[in-house]
Amino acid sequence: MKWPQGVSSAATASGIKSEGADLGLMVFDAPATYAGVFTTNAAAAAPVIWSRSRIGRDIRALVANSGNANACTGRDGVAAVQEESTAIAAILGCSPDDVVVASTGPIGVKLPIDKIVGNLGGMKANLSDDPEPFARSLMTTDTYPKLAMAGMGEGTVLGVAKGAAMIAPNMATMLAFIVTDVACPQDRLQTLLAEAVDASFNRISVDACESTNDSVMCFSTGRTDGDLSRLEGALDEVCASLAEQIVRDAEGGTKLMRIEVRGAADTAAAVALGKAVAASDLWRCAVAGEDPNWGRVLSAMGSCDRRLEMGDVEVSIGSELMFLRGEPVGRTEIAAKVMSFDEFSLVCVVGDGPGHAQVLAADLTTDYVRFNSEITT
């Protein structure tokens, strides 16, 4: 894969993490149209606040680090964001306001800004059209870099992402950066990105824990003129692929489940019911143990919609119908076999409404507990 026309990137090991690349730089040949969707968490990190406030401006560069979230770091965190933006702006000859930043890693730890500033000049000299080193520099507990590309004939959309935990309810502990060379007005790009995020990153769950640093940024270099309806489809495709890769790489995860809700009052209701199932630790433990304890699915949905009529509900694990309009049915041994695979579907019909949605989720394993009991120690 190569970046679309008009953008290049570099990565380096700055020492923020104990090993491996942890600092990425993306530079645009000319100011790029910029859109973004960010966490709504009240504890949003300093880089989120900075980059969110730049929406509507054209952007020359992005600086992203892993190994430190620069979240809940007070005045020092704000100063660090300003310092890294000023440093790369001086190198590129632009305004600090033309630079966006992103961070991911442990919360509440002061960002070692000297390590970032001291490496930016050398990174500029190593810019290339290969996105993989940049994608690797974003990784924390990820086991592989996440990339996705969609061609449009006259243009390209390419995205990279990181994320493996603190996934949901509104995006995830994730960073995603998407670039297209198709020209698109800022307001249209913002709308397309928001819709793509809502249908992808906002419909995944690993642990139902919202993050302070969620950022999805999209840039258009405007090098080609293309059909914006085709751009919409390509952007949806890239976001969907990156979101699924995040769930497949969930911390400690061994299974991906596709929770499909049909017959809800509307799409929002279907999404809410799907997320309720995805957030159920009881059900996710059952998935890890390949135990078709479908009662936990009903319990999760019933706690989400207290007016849900069990006489209208059906639950299937794979193609095996387990609950039919108030009555238990189905064969446990067949459902258990379905759940033994790395990926399976859970279909919940909740009525005869038009609402339909799919939510992707992972199981809950002892490895997840171990990973998240050792973050700061």
DSSP string, 315-344: EEETTEEEEETTEE-S-HHHHHHHHTSSEE
CA 280 – CA 300 distance, rounded (Å): 6
Start-end of H helices in 225-377: 228-248, 267-278, 281-288, 295-304, 332-339, 366-371
- Strand 7-12 and strand 23-38: pairing? antiparallel
CA 115 – CA 261 distance, rounded (Å): 47
Identify which of 186, 78, 66, 199 has the alpha carbon closest to the alpha carbon of residue 133: 66
Output 121-124 pairs: Cβ under 8 A, ≥24 positions apart: 121/91, 122/12, 123/10, 123/11, 123/12, 123/23, 123/25, 124/10, 124/25, 124/27, 124/91, 124/92
Give strand pairing partners of 217: 36, 177
Residue 338 in tokens: 């379905």
Start-end of H helices in 99-206: 113-124, 132-137, 186-198
377 is catalytic: no
Cβ–Cβ < 8 Å for 155, 180: yes
Task: Considering the candidates 104, 173, 180, 212, report the single residue annotated as catalytic.
Answer: 173
Cβ–Cβ < 8 Å for 148, 159: yes
Catalytic residues: 173
